[in-house]
Amino acid sequence: MIQPIESRSLSARPNGTARADRLLDPAAAKTLLAGLAREEGFDAFGIAAPDSIPESAPRLARWIGEGAYGDMDWMPDTMERRSSPASLWPEVGAVAMLGLNYGPDEDPRDVLAQRRRGAISVYARGDDYHELIKGKLKRIASRFVPKAGGDIKVFVDTAPLMEKPLAEAAGLGWQGKHTNLVARERGSWLLLGAIATTLPLPPDAPETDHCGSCRACLDACPTAAFPAPYRLDARRCISYLTIEHKGPIPHEFRQAMGNRIYGCDDCLAACPWNKFAELGREARLAAREENRAPPLAELARLDEAAFRARFTKSPIKRTGRVRFLRNVLIAIGNSGMASLVPEAVRLVGDGHPLIRGAAVWALSRLLDWEAFTELRARHLPDEPDESVRAEWLDASGAA
């Protein structure tokens, strides 16, 4: 799933210096760490050696060379540090990968048929997992180091660490054809955290690929974001477009977005291995009722203060009101609901051009020619932003 924010790590020692002293032998230290992970509610645990993913660096280089990262500029900027855990932290002796199951209690694709409501990715319907998992890892670190020795750094999908290849190397699952991790016991619903330690903990056996000839995830993608199995073009991915992409949604993907307003679960939900998936046990990751299928009209009325209040503990807050309402307006345009026209009309006057442009497109889909032309005549002469003016002019042919 694509969610990067600023890099975070935790050193278990205040001065951040490495130390080589061991209070337990490596096998006992691993047993201790696994037990602490279970006590914190993690569902999967395994150890990867620092040099266990040599193939990841050239794959990443090819992906970046193709420009498939879109405008996620931190990917090429951090490419060298991503090449191996030792590039990020030379003293690392092992990387523990931990997985937290967040299996949903319903098929997340069911909401796609409710056109007046928005579809939010399963992982974002509850609390922000970055903060949740970071807290768990910090508590593990504080209990592990005094008993086992060494130094620790923890990571939660934020530092230049190749979590999914490392999770495969640690035996948690394998990277499926949709490039996400799949586990035989849990399907596709696993959030990852990492603990790097200077201790040389015994590694686990890597998981092997069990996708076979299946291509359900590839065929499920509404925007054909997979040019080939095991390859993702983020520029076509709805998760990237609705979360990371900063500009207007490219026209070729707007209709395919449907009512997906934050992320997309289609490739994950389509995986046949999900028949073994279990409901997530972490209450703070469970869907809040207001995020299961929120009315688009309600979301379109959020001002800055209301947006921040509603999504205080949610990863959605990181995207910001402007991009979120851009997504909501695309969904309104795809809804076919005349009752949502007033929401789009109101947002044509919003202070941000990204919202105004999306509102224009929505109205071009919902209004007849005469009504759209009248609205354009009222707003276009005073529109200062060239991108919004282009939306008015481009949409005229579609109205």
- Which residues are part of the catalytic machinery? 157
Tell me which residue of 318, 397, 357 sits closest to 129, measured CA to CA. 318
DSSP assigned state of 132: H
Q: Which residues contact 30 (CB under 8 A, 6 or more apart)?
A: 47, 201, 202
Q: Which residues contact 374 (CB under 8 A, 6 or more apart)?
A: none
Are 360 and 328 a contacting pair, CB within 8 Å?
no
| Helix H or strand E segment including 328 | helix 316-335
Distance of alpha carbon 28 from alpha carbon 201, whole angstroms: 9
- Strand boundaries in the chain, DSSP class E: 44-48, 94-101, 119-120, 152-155, 174-175, 181-182, 190-197, 260-262
Tell me which residue of 124, 204, 133 sits closest to 167, measured CA to CA. 204
Dihedral sign (CA 386, 389, 394, 398): positive
Distance of alpha carbon 227 from alpha carbon 105, whole angstroms: 31
Are 319 and 239 a contacting pair, CB within 8 Å?
no
Distance of alpha carbon 213 from alpha carbon 272, whole angstroms: 12
β-strands 44-48, 152-155 pairing: unpaired
In this structure, the number of other CB atoms found within 10 A of the CB of residue 351 comes to 8
DSSP alpha helices (H): ranges in 170-265? 216-220, 238-243, 251-257
DSSP assigned state of 43: S
